Amino acid sequence: MAELSKRTIDLYKDIASSTKNNRLKLSSTSPFTPRFITSSVSQSSDPAEIYATRVHGRKMVLENPVKESREKKERLERKAKHKAHKARKRLGVVGKREAREKAVWKLDEHQARFNIFLPLHHLWMGYMSELLGLNQRSTSTGIPTIKDMPSTGSMHAKLLKADLHGSLISVRRCKNPCLLTLSGIVIHESENAFKIITKEDRVKLVPKANAVFAFAVPLFSTLPSNYDSSTSLPVPLAEESKDTVLDRPHIEFELYGNQFRFRSADRAGRKFKHKETMEL
């Protein structure tokens, strides 16, 4: 200890001068990166091969990229929502809050008539005929047979993303007994409920949760035989026909409300996966 205490250490001595002969020299003939990689990878049997296959000719990030803070993301989202709101307001499109305040989806007493929405239902049947590619009914055959039944397997994927405004649905099973056997034309579909108008000219709001619905699509096409798909669907008149899809040959499907709690616009871009459903 006495010998160590007697030794004097110059704290201001130039380090480079003491290690002048051992300094690392960088040149084009011996670049730093290959020498550093090959010397650092000591556990591998061939460090040169690792450098040639994993490092050479590739871009390497020496520092972690600066991540945006949560406050900045929220600020940008608020700014984007504000711009979208201004654009909707300029175009006259209202949001959910404005729709509730302005009572956009509320019907007057003289508008709540089943016969008024029958043309919408007939238009929906034409929409289903074009979407599902239904065949025209042959005039020679009377009662439909099994040969006339289309493949329902190809129809399911299209019906999951179809628009149900104008369809005729009925409540098949529900935990609320007051809603059983309720049937009507869908006049508005939200994320969690169907708003329908019944044949008794009553507007009902039916929740999708814990309910099983039934709706039918026509078996044969309701479009005219000379209909061209490049043109728009023909709009039916109110005085043309008073029948519904149930008065014609039809195919009935069940709709599980718990698995269908999405808006019609959200279903168009959503991928549904097949899974078993058990309703208690």
* Domain contains 257: yes
Q: Give Rg (Cα) of the chain.
A: 36
Domain at 193, CATH number: 2.30.30.210
Is 262 part of any domain?
Answer: yes
pLDDT band at 187 (very low <50, low <70, confident <90, very high): very high
pLDDT tens digits, one per residue of 99-122: 667 666 677 777 888 999 999 999
In a domain, 45, yes or no: no
Asked if residue 168 is part of any domain, the answer here is: yes
Highest mean pLDDT among 30-34, 145-149, 189-193: 189-193
CA dist 128 and 110 (Å) reads 29
Chain segment 243-278, per-residue pLDDT in tens = 899 988 888 999 988 888 888 878 877 777 766 655
Q: Which residues pair with 254 in a beta bridge?
A: 214
Considering the domain boundaries, does residue 101 fall inside one? Answer: no
The values of phi and psi at residue 229, to 5°, are -65, -20
Tell me how far apart the alpha carbons of residues 37 and 39 are, in angstroms, rounded to a whole number.
Answer: 5
Does residue 102 sit within a domain?
no
Q: Is residue 66 part of a domain?
A: no
Domain carrying residue 262: 115-268
149 located within any domain: yes
28 close to 34: Cβ distance less than 8 angstroms: no
> Is residue 21 over pLDDT 60?
no
Residue 70 predicted with pLDDT over 80: no
Residue 90 confidence class, pLDDT cut points 50, 70, 90: low
| Summary mean pLDDT of the chain | 77
Number of domains present in the structure of the chain: 1
Is the pTM value of this prediction over 0.85?
A: no
Beta bridge partners of 197: 185, 203
